[in-house]
Chains A and B, each alone.
Chain A
Amino acid sequence: MYKILSRGEILAVHTAAMEVLERVGVVIQHDKALKVLADAGAIVDDKTKAVKIPEYLLQDALQKSPRRHKLMARDPKYNLIIGDGESYFTNAFGAHYTIDLETGERRLSTIKDLEEFTLLADYFPTVDYIKPHILPQDVPKTIWEQEMALAMFKSAEKHLSLVALTPEGWRDVIEMAKIYAGGEEEFIKKSSIIDTGFNNVPPLKYTKEIIDMILECAKYKIPFDISTGLLSSASGPVTLAGTIVQGIAENHAIVVLTQLMGPGTPIMWGSCATIMDQRFGTAAYGSPENGLIHAAFCQMAHYYGLPYYGAAGVIDSKVPDQQAAYENMMNALIATMSGADVVHDAVYGIVEAGVTASYEMFAISNDICGAIKRVSKGINITPETLAVDLIATVGHDKNHLNSPDALRFTKKHLLNEQWHPLISNRTSRPEWEKRGSKTIEEVAREKTKEILSTHKIEPLDKGMETAMRKIIKAREKKTKSS
């Protein structure tokens, strides 16, 4: 495990973050939330809407914020316990464009892309739960979140994290999730059948809409991730230390508010923060600084007893190339080795930092993340795996391919010891040439097409789909008449 901060440094960061919370505060543009915070003992400036939060309020909230929680799936074999010591991976979030699988052209994303990427995420073993990979551009904005939720409900059996963009839209999605859970009562019992995520507006601000949606989560105890979105040297300090401090203050304001409104609501405490490249004014996610930020945030989350959710593995490169692969590997690996509970954006089927979906990159990243998961599993040390007796049996004259004992031993342990990539090439050169001397991008394209035509899931119950459609229709009608 990679621990970047010493015990003393953790305390220094914590003290600094508390000072920011108590002295500078966080702007929350939501009067009801401010009143709840003020009643609890925070100091609210009615004019600026900045709330200053004393440390004891945070400590109370941390007591109530679950250290671990379940994410439930349509198929219970995919249920997860976030915070159980494993690093769980998700796919990427929110591409507006897609590199077309047939033509190779970059075009606007569609709802069909969302269904296909969700189906691929259901297939890829590295994806533990599924994020909305695509923000489709062929669906009216008034029913955007609803159509996206339905497309995802239809396309996977794993746990689904749905998009919350507007309070009305999110409330509709919750109604659809009730149907998905099997009714209102069932949903109350297993509201973690869905989750969602939010970012702040750095520095140190939250809009009314975001707070509305967070309060909706607190009402039902729907799990969500709260991730600072700051850019070092633009919306936060250039120093990575200062970045961590500001991010902690931003996230903690929501922990306090949520645990006041809905005690026990599961929060994945996270970071989408990275540096801004001062040469271009762009966010640089595939940077080593990004990995360092995750490592430090992860340690701080665990210091607070909260699961850490890091958006690590984002690719800046515009195409699925060598740069894309190293960026994805570097930061997803650092976050995993730091002990992140969720590595969001790990299996990154997107290029251009969240903008353009790439089917090929998704399959390549599935191999990258498979390798990371193998590294994370480490080396299993037991008397048996140390294999002294076997080494003695094989001795100096035989080997592990011609001794029956060794063959049995290899067969028994092989799948536990060795990981096998889906598309990366390890054949001999003649074999590689015989198979057409293909690059990984070509193999990824072929494999993706194959999965899309062969991977089948249990279809969503027709009655559920019809009931969800009704909710969407009602919203369409309402927006037209208003």
Chain B
Amino acid sequence: MTTSILNELKTAVIEGDSEKSIEFAKKALESNIPPLDAITKGLAKGVKEVGDSFSAGEVFLVELVMAGDAMKAGMSVLLPVIKESKTEITSAGKVMIGTVAGDIHSIGKDIVSTLLEADGFEVLNVGEDVSSEAFVEKVKEHKPDVLGLSSLLTATMPAQKDVIEKLKEAGLRGDIKVIIGGAPTTQEWSDEIEADGWAGDAVDAVRLVKKLVGT
């Protein structure tokens, strides 16, 4: 029974079926499966499989995003119960990601978020056109392991540098790894502004984050 429910949770995610994910998350609770197990042995397994297949070029982005949504749907049932029981969820690490001030591009950053979630990271996607000050405030508040700064415009690249400088001024730079990305950015720009790394695509970004948090 337990195995079959866990398998159904995994399948629901792989199929990108949010309704099924919610249905079996509820069944898991009814059958007294520990909610953490429902996540790690069910939902997360599914999303990991889809994420790995995407990295190998074997499934489409639309399937990856839908798998991510199905996982979140199942989690919405399981998380309140976990919080009540005051159990800690262990994630691979906490990543905050956003697009810098003056730039409202979202797609690249959202793909990176989805892939990171598929790999077990807790991702705080803070949106677009985020000012340097807001980044600093949010870093203070959420204490992520890694901060990802996206810029799709040559004109907004200097804002990536600005965030890093503001983090230094606030004395927070030592506590987190800062990575950058976006079409006009380069490894050389990353070195120049003293970021901890640059990635040229979403799969590479996940590799970079894993390297930086040492998983």
Taking Cβ atoms with an 8 Å cutoff, the residues of A that contact B are 29, 96-97, 108, 135, 137, 141, 144, 165-166, 201, 205, 207, 209, 231, 233-235, 276, 278-282, 355
Contact = CB atoms under 8 A, between A and B. Distances in A.
Contacts of B201: 280-282
A97 B183 CA distance: 12
B57 interface: yes
Contact of B104 (A135, A137, A207, A234): A207
Nearest to A27: B104
Contacts, number: 51
B186 interface: yes
B62 A231 contact: no
A278 B183 CA distance: 18
Given A201-B104, A233-B62, A276-B61, 7 more contacts: A96-B184, A96-B186, A201-B105, A207-B102, A207-B103, A279-B58, A279-B59
B102 A209 contact: yes
Contacts of A97: 186
A183 B87 CA distance: 73
Nearest to B185: A96
Nearest to A135: B154
B157 interface: yes
Contacts of B81: none
Contacts of B62: 233, 278
B61 A281 contact: yes
Count chain B CB atoms within 10 A of each CB in A141, A233, A282 and give the residue with the most.
A141
A-side interface mostly: loop
B158 interface: yes
Contact of A165 (B103, B111, B154, B188): B154
Contacts of A166: 155
Contacts of A29: 104
B107 A165 contact: no
Q: Chain B at the A interface: mostly helix, strand, loop or mixed?
A: loop
Contact of A108 (B57, B59, B188): B188
- The range of chain B's interface size is 20 to 34
A355 B103 CA distance: 20
B77 to A, nearest CB: 29
Contacts of A234: 61, 107
Contacts of B186: 96-97, 108, 137
Interface string B83-112: 000000000000000000011110110010
Contacts of B157: 141
A203 to B, nearest CB: 10
Contacts of A209: 102, 155
Given A209-B155, A282-B201, A235 B107 contact: yes
Interface string B177-203: 000000110101000000000000110
Contacts of A207: 102-104
Q: Which 9 A-B pairs have the closest CB atoms?
A: A278-B60, A165-B155, A278-B61, A281-B111, A279-B57, A166-B155, A281-B61, A234-B107, A201-B104
Nearest to A164: B155
Contacts of B58: 279
Nearest to A235: B107
Contacts of A108: 186, 188
Contacts of B188: 108, 137
Which of B57, B153, B155 counts the most A-chain CB atoms under 10 A from its CB? B155
A275 B74 CA distance: 31
A135 B153 CA distance: 12
Contacts of A165: 153-155
B51 to A, nearest CB: 13
Contacts of B61: 233-234, 276, 278-281
